[in-house]
Amino acid sequence: MDGLDRYRKILTKYWGFSSFRPLQEEIISSVMSGNDTLGLMPTGGGKSITFQVPALACEGICIVVSPLIALMKDQVDRLLSMDIRAMVIHTGMMKDEISISLDNCIYGDYKFLYISPERIGSEVFRNRVARMNVSLVAIDEAHCISQWGYDFRPSYLKISSLRDVIPKEVPFLALTATATPKVVEDIVDKLRFKTKNVFKTGYERRNLTYLVREIEDKESYLLKTLSRVAGSGIVYVRSRKRSAEIAAMLVKENIQATYYHAGLPPETRHQRQLDWIGGRVRVMIATNAFGMGIDKADVRFVLHWDIPDSIESYFQESGRAGRDGKPSWAVLIYSKADISRARDRIRVSFPPPDRIKDIYELLCNFLQIPVGAGKNGIYDFSLEKFVTHYRLQVAEVYNSIKFLEREGYIELTEEINNPSRVNFVVSRDDLYRFQVANASLDGFIKLILRSYTGLFSEFVPVNEEFLSKKSGLARDQIYNFMVHLSNQDIIRYIPGKKSAMIIFTEERLPRKSLLITPENYIEVRSRFQERLEKMIEYVTSNTRCRASMLLEYFGEETARCGHCDVCLNRNELDLSKYEFDLILSRVREIVERDNPDMVTLMSKIEGDEEDNLKVVRWLLDHDKLISSSANRLTWNHEK
Q: What is the pLDDT of residues 214-272, one digit of tens each?
A: 999 999 999 999 988 889 999 999 999 999 999 999 999 999 999 999 888 878 888 99
- Kindly report the average pLDDT of the chain as a whole number: 90
pLDDT at 558: 79
Q: In the beta sheet, which residues pair with residue 285?
A: 235, 259
How far apart are the C-alpha atoms of 405 and 152, rounded to whole Å? Answer: 9
Does residue 538 lie in a domain region? Answer: no
88 part of a folded domain: yes
3-state secondary structure labels for all residues of 270-310 = HHHHHHHHCCCCCEEEECCCCCCCCCCCCEEEEEECCCCCC
Q: Is residue 563 part of a domain?
A: no
CA distance from start to end of the chain: 58
> Closest by alpha carbon to 245, among 225, 226, 222, 271?
222
Closest CA to 456 of 423, 481, 434, 433: 423
The count of structural domains within the chain is 5
Does the structure show a pLDDT above 90 at 437?
yes
Q: Residue 2: is its pLDDT beyond 70?
A: no
The answer for 56, left when phi > 0, alpha when psi is -120 to 50, beta otherwise, is alpha
Q: Could you tell me if 493 and 464 are in contact, meaning their C-beta atoms sit under 8 angstroms apart? A: no
- Identity (one letter) of the amino acid at 256? Q
Domain check: are 20 and 71 in the same one?
yes
Comparing 342 with 118, which gets the higher pLDDT? Answer: 342
Residues 457 and 363 in one domain: no
Q: Are strands 134-139 and 61-65 parallel, antiparallel or unpaired?
A: parallel
Domain that holds residue 375: 343-416+500-529
Give yes or no: residues 223 and 270 share one domain: yes
User: Residue 1: what pLDDT?
Assistant: 47
User: What span, in angstroms and rounded, lies between the C-alpha atoms of 592 and 587?
Assistant: 9
CATH of residue 245: 3.40.50.300
> Could you tell me if 437 and 443 are in contact, meaning their C-beta atoms sit under 8 angstroms apart?
no
Whether 26 and 104 map to the same domain: the answer is yes
User: How much is the average pLDDT of 183-192?
Assistant: 95
- b or e along 237-248 (b: 16 or more beta carbons within 10 Å of the residue's beta carbon)? bbebebbbebbe
Q: Among positive and negative, which fits the CA dihedral 270, 276, 278, 280?
A: positive
3-state SS class at 625: strand
Boundary of a domain, candidates 200, 222, 241: 200
Residue 271 CB partners (closer than 8 Å, separation 6+): none
Instruction: Give yes or no: residues 184 and 50 share one domain.
Output: yes
* Cα gap 146→36, rounded to integer Å: 17
Tell me if 291 is assigned to some domain.
yes
Cα gap 73→83, rounded to integer Å: 15
Its pTM stands at 0.81
Looking at the domain assignment, is residue 28 inside a domain?
Answer: yes
Give the CATH number for residue 609: 1.10.10
Residues 477 and 522 in one domain: no
CATH number at residue 378: 1.10.10.10
pLDDT tens sequence across 124-164: 899 999 999 999 999 999 999 998 877 888 889 999 999 99
Please check whether residue 546 is in contact with residue 538, taking contact to mean a CB–CB distance below 8 angstroms.
Answer: yes
Coil vs helix vs strand at 99: helix
**Same domain? 111 vs 235:** no
Instruction: Please tell me whether residue 377 adopts helix, strand or coil conformation.
Output: coil
Query: In this structure, are 291 and 219 located in the same domain?
Result: yes
Q: For residues 66 and 146, state if they share a domain.
A: yes
Same domain, 379 and 475: no
Asked, for residue 554, whether it belongs to a domain, the answer is no
Same domain, 44 and 184: yes
Give yes or no for residue 458 having a pLDDT over 60: yes
615 with 586, same domain?
yes
Identify the pLDDT of residue 544.
86
Instruction: Judge contact between 20 and 49, C-beta under 8 A.
Output: yes
CA dist 175 and 47 (Å) reads 7
What is the maximal distance between C-alpha atoms in the chain? 107
Question: 41-87: per-residue pLDDT in tens?
Answer: 877 678 899 999 999 999 999 999 998 888 888 899 999 999 999 99
- The letter for the amino acid at 355 is R
**Strand partners for 114:** 64, 88
- Report the interhelical angle of 336-349 vs 394-406 (nearest 10°): 60
